[in-house]
Amino acid sequence: MITVQVGVARVNRTKPAVNGAINQLVEAGVLFPLSTDRRNRAWEAAGLLELIARLESGEYPDEEEKPGPIADPRAQPASGGEP
């Protein structure tokens, strides 16, 4: 989880620079907002712990496989398929 304040302190950049970087990571599907509030926002890197666990267990992606964005685990499954 990250906030703008934590990013500013950690990388020693301005708030606009950190906001821009976070927005790029959201657009790339790396970070997901934890709320829709405009104040005190926070984001999480969904799937990161699962990826680390898979790599630690020796499960590596195929070399030909291209990585894509990580799916938001909070997203609702599409309706209309099997029950």
The domain segmentation of the chain, as residue ranges, is 4-56
Block residue for tokens 């984001």: 43
| Measured distance CA(14)–CA(49) in Å, rounded | 28
In angstroms, how far is CA 13 from the centroid of its own chain? 20
Tell me the two tokens of residue 61.
């992606």
pLDDT at 79: 57
pLDDT at 11: 93
Tell me the two tokens of residue 51.
């990826």
Q: What is the pLDDT along the chain (83 residues), one digit of tens a residue?
A: 899 999 999 999 999 999 999 999 899 888 999 988 888 899 998 777 787 788 888 876 655 455 566 666 666 665 555 55
| Measured distance CA(57)–CA(36) in Å, rounded | 35
Stated as kind and residue range, the H or E segment containing 59 is none
